[in-house]
Structure 1
Amino acid sequence: MNREVAEAYWKENISLILKLLVIWFIVSYGFGIIFLDELNAITFGGFKLGFWFAQQGAIYVFVVLVFVYAKKMEALEKKYDIHE
């Protein structure tokens, strides 16, 4: 792999990581702490939505983000012809 291809690969990789970290931050910190009072006005499964995000939702979103990252990285590795 030449230098330009490697730089393009890492640029896309870091971009993906930053996007997923922003989503994780918004869900865990934003929904679980900052917007807690607003979200508690809504109920989900018998629980206040803010409480649900703080206790369960952030974990579920994190697990989904792990799978999204794995799938996106698989596509990125195929794009740049990188094999393990």
Structure 2
Amino acid sequence: MSKVIMYTTGFCPYCKMAEKLLRSKGVEKIKEIRIDLDPEQRSEMMNKTGRRTVPQIYIGEKHVGGYDDLARLDHLGELMPLLAS
């Protein structure tokens, strides 16, 4: 299963929904990077993704985007193959 990294904050409902969706697909380990606790991580996230909102999700080396992007991949049947790669 591909490595999953998620930039998140402590009180983000979309982060929780993304985590729940990923767990329902069998993802056991999600590396969470809390940008609310580390301003340097927020800057890094914005530089890497070009986005300011959380969650920002990486599966392997691929930037998936936020929760809506993750849910769209799942709806299209593209999430499981990405996780399996």
Q: TM-score, normalised by structure 1?
A: 0.30
Higher strand share: 2
Task: Report 1 or 2 for greater relative contact order, CA contacts < 8 Å, sequence distance ≥ 6.
Answer: 2
Higher helix share: 1
